[in-house]
Amino acid sequence: MEGITVQGLTKRYGEVVALDSVSFSIGRGSILGTIGPNGAGKTTLIRILSCLLRPDSGYATIHGHRIPPCRDSVKRLFALLPQEARAHFYTLTPLEYIYHYLRMRGYPREEARARAREAVEEFGIHYHDRMVSTLSGGMVRKMLLAMVLSADVPVYYLDEPTVGLDVENRLKLWDILRRRAKAGSTILVTSHYLNEISSICDKVLLIKDGRVAAFGEPEELGRRYLSGFYSKIVVLGEYSSSEHMVRRVGKNTIVYTRTRTEEREVIAELEDAGLPFRVEELTIEDIFLAGVLR
């Protein structure tokens, strides 16, 4: 059964086209990873799907409910964690914060208390009785994630949910999302951790300049766009070559090779030059870095 279907969504801000006829569909109980450069349109997409923004044209259906219009019956279907989410009630504890969120969603007192306790246990929030004002940014972020995921809803929208989380808590979040999806919830998540997101998602949506650049299963996208490459070599420093595909990423340089012979040639050049390097497997991130999207 369809979980989220998007058909021709378009949104403009003056002369800027944030979304340009975006269409895709995912089934219920699926996790969709939405990735793309800053300003690609990922947040605009989530804002439309969560009824915070009206599209100029196009529509979406969420578990059989069409938007627009955004009726209350639609808003009850989802829980949202915006990218810019912040804590506002600093004198509450995480347990109280989650409880009041659930009460505002309409849960009875006892059920809200029980679900709040379950949420802090699931996320390992051992500081659940401390005031929010005393917590670090990562602690608050984890509390907000627990808050949103404490609601039992068919759809979750998580915009950059791992910002501020360490590796251990990112992995914990991915595990929780897998369990939610297995239980039947449909999840749309955006993230800059491209390799991690591709490992947990059923489908990946690549957005570039407001358009769907690619859509499909992570393995399928890898085969489609990276089949012409043999390997990548990460040079720890500057390296230039007119004979090989080279991309500068921060302080490092990435060299994409197309054959085993080319890989050997590059390695020999780097060793002769005394440049430190490592050979890595190709990942979904390389679809962007190698510039294969058009």
CA distance 138 to 39: 24
Asked if pLDDT for residue 112 goes beyond 80, the answer is: yes
* Helix 109-122 vs helix 137-149: crossing angle, to nearest 10: 130
CA distance 105 to 75: 10
Max CA distance (Å), the chain:
70
Read off the pLDDT of residues 172-181 as tens digits, 9 standing for 90 and up: 999 999 999 9
**Cα 53 to Cα 21, 49, 68, distances in angstroms:** 16, 8, 10
In this structure, are strands 277-280 and 231-235 parallel, antiparallel, or unpaired? antiparallel
Find the radius of gyration of the CA atoms of the chain: 22
CA distance 127 to 120: 9
Average pLDDT of the chain is 91
Residue whose entry in the numeric block shows the structure tokens 């890595």: 280
CA distance 184 to 30: 8
Residue partners of 179: CB distance under 8 A and separation at least 6: none
**Residue ranges matching CATH 3.40.50.300 in the chain:** 2-222
Read off the pLDDT of residues 121-134 as tens digits, 9 standing for 90 and up: 999 999 999 998 99
Read off the pLDDT of residues 11-48 as tens digits, 9 standing for 90 and up: 999 999 999 999 999 999 999 999 887 788 999 999 99
What is the CATH code for 2-222?
3.40.50.300
Asked if pLDDT for residue 294 goes beyond 60, the answer is: no
Q: What is the DSSP letter of 214?
A: E
**Mean per-residue pLDDT for 136-148?**
93
In this structure, are strands 155-159 and 211-216 parallel, antiparallel, or unpaired? unpaired
Q: Which two tokens stand for residue 119?
A: 């949420």
CA distance 268 to 196: 32
Read off the pLDDT of residues 64-95 as tens digits, 9 standing for 90 and up: 999 999 888 899 999 999 887 777 877 899 99
Read off the pLDDT of residues 192-207 as tens digits, 9 standing for 90 and up: 777 777 778 999 998 9
CA distance 119 to 124: 8
